[in-house]
Amino acid sequence: MRAYSAPLWRDKIEKELGGAAFAIAVMLAAGSAFAAGSGCPAGKEGVDVRPPAPNPASGVTDTVVGSIDVAKEPAHVDGRLLRLRKLVVQPGGVVPWHSHHDRPAIIVITKGTIVEYASNCSAPIVHRPGDVTTETSTTAHWWRNETKSPAELYSADLFPTQMMGTHEEHTM
């Protein structure tokens, strides 16, 4: 494998692979450059300590930048897409309450700051660029951009194909 200086490496990979693959390559190559999200503060964790919020989606663009039908791959996971999405949340924008009961995901924040309100944390959780958060079957939450600048996140999930074409297709 040929080593590149940061600017040459970034330009070459981004040009050859495109934005989505570049984001994945950066996440994998960076290793410790990305940190686990700040998480729930000590003593604020619990089960269903925050009720669902009725906030509708607003100020959010959700773009699928790539997907793989993993039923057709050697892993052979029927009924799932490995999907990468880019979400841009404008100032004041909201990603509505949703659950990951059947759709695990990994989120990386690449620009801006965004606040998560989770069912298992009574305090708001602030996420900044470089933070990575995992969303498992016990995750139910909503997000809001409380700053004056857009927030950008990439979400990789195992999306159930039976949810395609439903409102669940574009929840975080």
**Ranges under pLDDT 70 in the chain:** 1-38, 165-172
Full-model pTM: 0.75
What is the pairing mode between strands 105-111 and 114-118?
unpaired
- Predicted confidence at residue 139, as pLDDT, reads 87
- Predicted confidence at residue 29, as pLDDT, reads 42
- Predicted confidence at residue 164, as pLDDT, reads 73
- Predicted confidence at residue 74, as pLDDT, reads 94
User: Whole-angstrom Cα distance, residue 91 to residue 29?
Assistant: 30
Q: How far lies 2's CA from each of 5, 29, 109, 148, in Å?
A: 10, 14, 28, 41
Query: CB–CB of 96/55 below 8 Å?
Result: yes
- Predicted confidence at residue 172, as pLDDT, reads 55
